[in-house]
Structure 1
Amino acid sequence: MSIEEGTHTLPDGLEAYTKTWKTDGSPRATLAFIHGFSDHSNTHYELFPTLASSGIEVRAIDQRGWGRTFKRRKDRGNSGGTSVVLADLHSFLLSFAPQAEAQGIPLFLAGHSMGGGEILTYVLHPDSPYRKSDSRPKLAGLLVLSPLIALDPASRPWTLTVIAGRLAGRLFPRMQRYSPLDPNHVTRDKQAIADFQADELCHETGTLEQLAGMLDRGLWLEHLSKDQIKGVDILPMWLAHGDEDRITSHPATKRLAELLGEKGDVVFASYAGAYHKLQAELPETRTQFASDLLGWIEAKL
């Protein structure tokens, strides 16, 4: 296993930070990973090295406004609206998907939290470039981790706060808002909590446009109906969520998994007692989660 850092040029010319965990020899599969709110590619502990050591190459990107991609304080959280977010994701996948397909290497797409909501929107929404573009990456399946479909009541902002933010966002879309996560809701692992609090790249700041887009994508997924997915081919999916998550809603993920499961190969994995970030949870949960994730990928190869 080896690690390679690099950049990917987004559609508007912005250079985004990327990191690849490469396998020894030709990979059995490639996993593209999209991080969540106030997160980046280098916070997932042993998950990516474990996958690479098992023959699964991992390619991760720091989204615009996050991690090592933002360079100036004023760019923190400036991810743009949903159309920009999905165009960036599409561009990242197309930078290596055609080569993987030509070599017969299955490509899986994974996302955590905000990133989980993004990848679901990417493959399901009719206006997504995945649905509309002729250059569609061939995906073998989705791994959706603690996705932002709905916020848990413990982390949900007041309705008036959301309304005021939307009104202000129309006038000042790039106005920044500090929106901290409770670190004690992220994981039960004390060292992981300390790491999160000390990480300056986890800046917990979004623009009003970014925050509104993130919540709107969740609302769309939360209210998805059978009619809306009637003509959609549902990719194989593995959705995982801790049942004590106090950031994103475990019941909302379960409901969506049941809806999509009526049309496709969809598995819902629930982790008893676990919090929001399964890959940073207590060792016993972290190990089981990584084993389950790897097992699902291997079953699809």
Structure 2
Amino acid sequence: MAGVKIVEGTFQVGDVNLFTKSWLPEGPTKAKLIMIHGFSDHIGRYYDLFPSLARRGVAVYGFDQRGWGRSVRAPSERGRSGPTATVLKDIVAFARTKVLPVEPAGVPVFVYGHSMGGGEVLTLASTREHADLTSRIRGWVLEAPFLGFAPSVRPYWLTVASGRLAARVVPNLQLVKPVPPEHLSRDVAVQKSIAADALMHNTGTLEGLAGMIDRAEFLTSGKLTLNPGVRSVFLAHGTADMVTSFESVKGWWDRQKLEDGRFKAYEGFYHQLHAEPGKEGFYQDVGDWILERCDDVDLKGSAPPEPKL
């Protein structure tokens, strides 16, 4: 089996410099995958998921979003992701400048979003302003996307309403919102690793938290609907998730009319499918789903270059 080349770097977008990391196949590249991580998370916490994909020919490109991971240079930057428009522009800029132009240019491109990142990815896929880009994405992989809080952690409606009002006045006010490690994975070693990871700072801003909740409500209420060019979606969710609402996600899924959609419930799994006991099966499912949609790709490099946007 082919090896993996890991490349780290930075990505200048607007007024910030974001940390990037890629897992590249040493053999032929069959697909490209853009990875968007979750709340209090970073691109370095996905264990063997990305190397396993790269060994199968899927090049993975990711970055630590504004306010998260190694893109934070000072405590005052923690959680400062900006409004939804900024979040989406960062993803679009990364796709257009750091993924689509990279050789081989003709292979299919996929987008992967986990938790908060899943809600962001779905919002991108439902935003008409970015339909020119989303129509070029071959498929979308969603791991436990945030479309609402799990019942045990759902905030009181007045708390949410008050937070939204306050976000208009002091958008960058930081709030520490710890997510218990034992709610993320059943693996004790993973729990200890999360607790010891200084990059998982659990700090959000009023603006960022309000944006995350708004995106979920717009999607589940139908105010946002998938762009016409979005056809292929693989949605994976653990039935025992204690962070995001399995019921909200399943309800959203049941209302979709996709040409090529797959929903898989992982029985007994917690929030981080990629870090759960039995995660290798999840890795296999993701890789299989992507590669099944690459059968018609010419891996000899004869595909025409992508048009400029």
Give the TM bin, normalised by the shorter chain: over 0.9
Measure the CA separation in 1 of the matches of 2:170 and 2:225: 34
Following TM superposition, where does structure 1 have runs of at least 4 consecutive aligned residues deviating by more than 6 angstroms? none
Separation of aligned partners in 2, 1:21 and 1:67: 17
Aligned to 1:7: 10
Contact 2:134 2:229 (8 Å CA) reproduced: no
Report the residue type matching 2:168 in the other structure. R
Tell me the residue number matched to 2:192.
194
Distance verdict in 2 for CA 1:113–1:298, change over 3 Å: same
Structure 1: runs of 5+ lacking an equivalent: none
Matched, 1:243 2:239: yes
Please tell me whether the aligned partners of residues 126 and 226 of structure 2 are also in contact (alpha carbons under 8 angstroms): no
Please tell me whether residue 298 in structure 1 is matched to residue 291 in structure 2: yes
Counterpart secondary structure, 2:89: helix
TM-score with structure 2 length normalisation?
A: 0.90
In structure 2, do the counterparts of structure 1 residues 191 and 124 end up closer, same or farther at CA, with 3 Å as the change threshold? same
Match of 1:232 in 2: 228
Q: CA–CA distance in 1 between the matches of 2:46 and 2:266?
A: 18
CA distance in 2, matches of 1:32, 1:194: 28
1:51-84 CA distance string (max 9 Å, x none): 1111111111100000000101011000001000
Aligned pair partner of 1:103 in 102, 105, 114: 105
**Residue identity opposite 2:245 in structure 1:** S
Shift of 1:157: 1.6
User: Residue type of the partner of 2:271?
Assistant: H
- CA displacement at 1:100 relative to structure 2: 4.9
For structure 2, list consecutive stretches of 5 or more residues without a partner in the other structure.
295-309
Are residues 117 and 16 of structure 1, via their aligned partners in 2, closer, same or farther at CA, if it must alter by over 3 Å? same
Indicate yes or no: 2:275 matched with 1:280.
yes
| Deviation of 1:165 (Å) | 1.4
The residue that corresponds to 2:153 in the other structure is: 155
Indicate the structure whose relative CO is greater, using CA pairs within 8 Å and at least 6 residues apart: 2
Q: Does residue 1:83 correspond to 2:121, yes or no? A: no
**Percent of aligned positions that are identical:** 39
2:282 to 270, 275, 289: 289
Q: Deviations over 1:147-191 (max 9, x none)?
A: 001111112122222122122211100000111112111010101
- Whether contact under 8 Å (1:94, 1:137) holds in the other structure is no
SS at match of 2:270: coil
2:248 is the counterpart of 1:252: yes
